[in-house]
Amino acid sequence: MDSETADVIDHDVTTITCVCGNTVSKGGLIQADSQGVPVYNGDKSPVPAGLAEWPADEDLHTLCPACGRVYRDSVIEETGTAPVAFRVDVTAGPIAEAIRVHWNLDAQE
């Protein structure tokens, strides 16, 4: 994959502007695990089907649900740059289902 980099302000993952133009406030960005699966950050157990558990090692990534680009949070926080780590399919399969579960939970809160 070509080296793509998102815009980010001051080492802050919440300020990412994805290569596709999506942002937290535009279409939303989702915290994910190292496989790009959205993580569950709620207090209730068990973790809802389809979502990943919060990583014990805190190795969080940011998933753009619009295009499937995934950014590694620790790289952003350490370097102030947001290179694309990898891409996932957000149109079908387990990642797409996890995104739907995430947004449904978000709407309920």
Instruction: List the domain boundaries for the chain.
Output: 5-108
pLDDT at 1: 47
Q: How many Cβ atoms are within 10 Å of 51's Cβ, its own excluded?
A: 22
Q: What is the mean pLDDT of residues 11-27?
A: 96
pLDDT tens-digit profile of 26-47? 999 999 999 999 999 887 778 9
Given a cut of 70, whether residue 101 has pLDDT beyond it is yes
Q: What is the mean pLDDT of residues 11-39?
A: 96
Residue 109 pLDDT level (bands cut at 50, 70, 90): low
pLDDT at 41: 86
